[in-house]
């Protein structure tokens, strides 16, 4: 009786390739890890002013570079917006973020070349970071400084491409725009959390300087004014 593989001299050679394709994949880790912000139960004493951004690093050649758009969307989320109100007597909070990032294009091209050189059988790692600083200034409606805060956050995209790496890198490239959006959303949500945490911790002082003498609680059914009208786009 003939060995079944001998009916086709090359059949046994395809099994490792089939297995490689079936079990190929990539492990992706996105940071930071964020937790939900709880809406405030206090009367907002802050209104949102200008939101600006400076983009540094080699990625600033792209029209959509930066996290400003993601930050604006984050600030409009109901739980974040609950900390702001358009009351004219409220203190004014301005935000300026600086986002630094190295262009992924050249580095990914080098990774693709390495994948070819290694015949796609060696796992490859790629890490990309977005370092973001957030300067927050709070003033009276007349422009008198009240408080300044500086917050920092780093977004990280860490991927391990498993064999067969040309296939997994192709898949990672297809979902690259989506994953970049995840990083932007997490970084800006983390920064927004740090901002509202600072507002919560210093509420009494800020309320007094805003002209609101009482720390009044907002009824549960109250609707918060989403500060989209005051955002600078």
pLDDT digits (tens, 9 = 90+) for 125-157: 999 999 999 999 999 999 999 999 999 999 999
The region of weakest confidence among 48-57, 115-124, 128-137 is 115-124
Beta bridge partners of 55: 99
State the pairing for strand pair 124-139/46-56: unpaired
Does an H or E element contain 100, and which? Answer: strand 91-101
Burial class (CB in 10 A: 0-12, 13-18, 19+), 102: middle
Q: Which domains does the chain have, with CATH numbers?
A: 23-213 (3.30.160)
Does an H or E element contain 138, and which? Answer: strand 124-139
pTM of the model: 0.81
Q: How far apart are CA 169 and CA 176, in angstroms?
A: 10
């Amino acid at each position: 009786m003939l060995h079944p593989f001998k009916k086709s001299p090359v059949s046994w050679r395809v099994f490792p390739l089939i297995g490689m394709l079936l079990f190929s994949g990539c492990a992706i880790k996105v940071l930071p890890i964020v937790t939900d912000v709880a809406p405030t139960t206090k009367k907002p004493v802050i209104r949102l002013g200008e939101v600006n951004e400076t983009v540094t690093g080699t990625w600033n050649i792209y029209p959509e570079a930066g996290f400003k758009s993601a930050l604006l969307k984050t600030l409009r989320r109901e739980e974040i917006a609950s900390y702001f109100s358009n009351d004219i007597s409220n203190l004014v909070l301005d935000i300026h973020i600086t986002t630094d990032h190295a262009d992924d294009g050249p580095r990914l091209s080098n990774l693709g070349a390495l994948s070819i050189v290694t015949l796609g059988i060696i796992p490859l790692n790629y890490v990309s970071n977005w370092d973001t600083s957030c300067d927050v200034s709070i003033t009276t409606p007349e422009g008198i400084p009240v408080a300044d805060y500086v917050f920092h956050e780093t977004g990280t995209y860490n991927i391990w491409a498993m064999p067969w790496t040309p296939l997994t890198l192709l898949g990672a490239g297809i979902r690259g725009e989506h994953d970049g959006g995840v990083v932007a959303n997490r970084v800006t949500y983390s920064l927004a959390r740090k901002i509202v945490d600072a507002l919560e911790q210093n509420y009494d002082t800020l309320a007094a300087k805003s002209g609101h003498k009482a720390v009044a609680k907002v009824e549960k059914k109250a609707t918060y004014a989403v500060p989209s009208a005051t955002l600078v786009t």
